[in-house]
Structure formats: structure tokens, C-alpha cells
Structure 1
């Protein structure tokens, strides 16, 4: 198999999964995925404990990117549902036929669930009809329940079905000769056994679900902020550069920079663009991953913006959705957000970005305050790109040291 083609096909799979649902993309990309000639010829792929191996059959011309995505999701679900652990235990107890029956049942249950979810499972992978049950019945069963119903099959019938399955009962074979397609996450790579892989995936799935939900804390999702401290960033300097660029196409450039106070270097110089003063939108992350300390630091940066002379600041709190904007015109207005912010749920910036794209009628400065541990949707990157194209975008992180979104990136020091 040519390396170039492997890369091209894998890119198509990634794009398909991201468009279907970022959750699927996140789970598949968590796994080390590699191509190996040691995968059995009659198998599309193989789950080895903490790696997914694909063979030559995975790349045959008759399969589409949608088929290949379904195959990878099939192997991920074996890991997530703990199938390798149970198949291995049956083999260790010398119950080879029961292990094979479980293997077949696990394949049927997963394939039927994938098809019910809209995935295009290859036609020759096991379905409910192969084992004599209806699709409706199979969708209601666990792998164990279906395996118990297969006890009446002859050994010959069972072996025939087993050869058609993904054969997870043999999944812990050691493979040394492979080409990496996806490195996967460090957690999965370092997992000691399939049980640890399953627990890691469960944690990841819970985190994804929480990232995709609005806040659920009591009293209208109120988030309280303690005292506001001195900001970390020199907003006077930042705004001078960013505002000048933001208004470079306007005719009236009457800047009103006053001398900094001799009492304190943090006393504001005045920023103004005459009647064409530029609006500033602050997208303030109030999701559950933002603890009280980060929230306080974000409020300090908003205060710093006002102290730097910004004439109008719109603060939009957001978690998995955008909440009611707060308009600030002077430093004392910081009390409006100190009294409480909505949020506490997931971390999806889409609604907040769409709000700015809808409301900002001219080029403005947009500041995103977040830890950037985002649960991306299929639209997130496109929205960031559109935001950066229409406005001056400043990304201020209290978490990650870098992001691959467009705009000026600044990390607040620890």
C-alpha cells in the first residue's frame, strides 16, 4: 500500500467524521491507528488492546470513505464497550466456542447500532439476519444476551460466522511491522490493558457530553466573581495597535491619547476615534472548565480594557450557548458582570461568534477570553475564520499555550 494513498484516504475519513459529529471524530482520533500487512486477509481492521490496525482489505477500491469511517467506529465501539476484555477472559478459561459466539454477537450488535445511527457499514459485515434474529431484536440486546441465543448453532455454523467477524478474541496479538496513520492520544498509547482503554474512553465521552450542554447550575446559571485584580495584559498598548488596524479604512482618525497618569502606570490613557470609536466585543468563556480563579482573571482583563480607555465594550458570556450581552462604558460598569455571569456548562463558542457576526455592522475588535478546551462542532473553525476575516480578533488563553485558530494569540501567564 502506498503511503501517499494511505494519507489521502485517512484525511477523507477524518473529514467525514467531523462533518457527521465531532464526538465520533474525537473518539476515533483518540486511538493510535496504523496500517499493517499482518492484519488477517479476511479482516478490514483489528483492535489490539490500545491500537487499531487496518489491513489491505480496508483500502480496497469498493469501499468508500463512509464505509471506512464505519469500520473504524466499529473497532472503537469494541474498545468502548469492553468487548476485548470479555472475549479474552472466555479464551483464558478455555471456552473457545463461547468466545467465538460472543465475538460474533458483539459484531452484530455494533453493526446494527451503527447502521441505525446512519453509518454506511460494508455490506459483508455481520448483521442480525446472519444469526437469525430481527434487526429490532438485535438493537435491544447486549452482546452477552445475543451470544446466549447463539448457543444452539453448530460448530460449523459458528466457525463460518466467526471467520466473517472482526475476531476480537484474537485481538491481543503483538504486531511490530506497521505504518502509523494517526498517533492517537498519549493516554490511550500508554494504557496498560483494554480495561484502562475502556475507562479512558468513558471519561472522554462524559467530557464531550458535558461540553455540549448549556450550564445547569442553580439560580439561572449564575457565576459569581470575586474581587477584580490588576490585569495581566497591557491593554493600552494592545488597543493602540489593534484599534489603529481596525479603523485604517475609516476617514476620521482623531485619536485622543492622553498622557498616562504620574500616579500609576495603570491609570488609563484615553482611546478614542472621534465619532467613529470602534466597538469591542468580549466573548467571555463561563463554561464549567473555567474555575473561579480563571473567571476572576478574565474579569480583570475586561476591567483592564475599560481602564485603557475603550469607549464601549460588549461582554457576551458563553458556554455551550451564548447568554445575554452586558454593555460596559466605563470602569465602574465592571460591577455589572461582578454581580454574576450565566454559564457553567459545555464549551462551544459557535453561538457567541454568530452573535458578533450578526450584530457588528462594521469592523470591530473581538477579544475571546477562554481556556480553549473547546468541544468543536462542524462549524466552529469556519466561524473563527469568518470572524477573523471581518474583525480584528484577539484570542486570550488562560489554559492552552497555542491554538490553530486565526487571530492574535496571547497566553495569560500562570
Structure 2
């Protein structure tokens, strides 16, 4: 058996062992393309989409190889490569090579922190960055902070990034995929060496993430740390609980009304009892997917939609739109993320979406519109009349421009 065939067998068994002990990470790794590059001196790295193993992998035990694959898989799950590039865009004064070494150092600490919460066997490989290393080196704790918060804190403290990490870790920067590489695990992602579109890559990662999460969730085998990690992807910026409880009391309706004719079972005579008044109205969410909405905003719109469904306590009908209105779909739980297929990328014209929404609007329907509100036909008579007609049923969420003054709205800041 050749060295490559031996490695393919070891990788297959390593991923199988991960699926047994940590199904979510193992399934995600199984869905990920893993390549072997014989002339690379590194152990392993990721470009944010695939996993690459270098020649040093042959010096490691099967247990250590499983740990390495899990390590790189978590880098992809946490989107460290994409998030690092987004941070760098905000700091054009930095030297990319040095910045990516710093980003990798911090990212490795996050991966180690999550791996320690799993049942995956510790590795004997020495060059691992721990959260305590980041604390010792930069005086910054990573616990309870996002990757972006930690990076920004380090950059504020250090006018110049000193690269003195004793070779720990490998860079998660802009890797060019080697020409001479061998596929040792066929995942679900396409083998497209030319695809460097970050938005497409992130959508692909999200789909893989949702599929692996749902498979593991069905078996009730997702660790608490990973559970929080997945939920972080759906974390909303609009406090819908506050909006519903205070600012929009009654906006989404109520399943009950209070009456002194029915005594409270818990505190009889002190507070009124609740009487059921049937199901609440429908919720309709119009999501702007036009070309002016970048991937970060689009992902946030998805998060807001799931938050609305959770707080409203019922199915939410979603209508994606740009210059056209696309087929509606229903969501309710985080597990429904796999249903999310947002078409768009064109111009921003809202009237087709409003016409489609008309089919579903009832007097009890609540309508949420997520957009940057840079809408070409916003001042047209048709659009103005529609929005004004349903103004008491509409709540607008904007990332940029202010919606019409007669609408209730909230602004998301980026």
C-alpha cells in the first residue's frame, strides 16, 4: 500500500472515530474535503473551506491526526479565515502577513478552548496555543469575548504587531491552493480551485454547518459549548423581547387576556387570571436580498428572522426580495436554518414583494421588513400607499436609511 493510500485509510478511520465521540465535529469533518500536499513542511492548515495536511502528518499517531482534523474543522466552523480577512479590511495600515500570524495565534486559542469541552482525546502534539498563552502574551482574556473583540483589543494595545510566537500554529491567511495535492477525504463541497468568492464560501459552510448540527442534534449529542457556538450564528441584534414587551406591546398579539372573572391559580384574589383567546395572528417577514445587502447584513437578517419566530412563538413566513419577489418559506426553530435559501443579488425594488405579501396579509398579520431601505421605488405612489395602508401592522428594521416616518422601526448598527 502506498503512503497516500495509507494516509487515506488513517484519515477515514480518524474521521470515523470523531463521529463516534463527537458527532457534530465528526460529521462536519466528513463533509469537508481533506487534501494531502506532499511537499508542504506544515502539519495542517485550512483556507476556510477545505483542510490540508502536509508531510509532517506522517510523524503523528492516528489519535493525533484525528485531533488535527478536528482542530482544522473547528477553524472552518468558526469561520476564522473569513472573519480575519474582514478584520484586516478595517486595518489597511497593518502588514497582512503579520496580521494573519496574529489572527491564527488567537484563533488557535479559541479552537483549543472548544476542543477542551469535547470528548476528543488530547493530542501529544506540543505546538498548541492555549487561552492562557493569549492572556500571558497580550494581557487579553478570550473567555466570554468574540474573536473580533479580542483581536481589536490586542490591536488597540499594540501599536506594532510583534511576531514572536516560536513557530506555534500555522497561518489562516490567503493560501493559494497547491496544484499538486491529493484528495484523501471527499466531502460535500465542490472541488473548485477557482472559487474564492467569500460570500459563496460562507453560504456553503453554513449549509454544511446546519446539516451536521441537525444530524448531531437529532441524536442529542451536541456539547453545550458547541451548542452556544451554533446559536451564536443566529444571535440577533434587535432585542425583540424588549420590543414586544415594551415598545410594541400587543404588536405580535397575545394568546391570552387577563380577566378578574377567572381567578389566578398561583395567586388567587391578588392578580387576575388568564383567559385563552385563541391563536395569535400570522407573522410575515420581508427580507431584502438585493445586491446592496452584503453577506454580513444578510446573515444578520436571517438571525433577526429566527429571533422573531422564537419570541413570537409561531411559524414565520419569509419572503426574500430584490427587484423580484421569491418563493416564500416558513421557519420557526433554529433547526429550520437548512430551509433558508435566499435568492437575490439584483436591484432593490420592493413593490413585487408587497404585491406577493398581499396574498397573505390579514387584519391580524404582523409584517416585519428587513432592509437597508435604499429602495428605488420607495417614493412611488404604489409603494407609499401599500405601506401607509398597513402601517399599524408593519415594523421596519433598517441598517442604513430611515424608513418612512409613519412606520415603527429599529436600526441595526454594524
Considering Cα pairs closer than 8 Å and 6+ residues apart, tell me whether 1 or 2 has the greater RCO. Answer: 1
Q: Which has the larger Rg?
A: 1
TM-score (norm: length of structure 1): 0.44
TM-score (norm: length of structure 2): 0.44
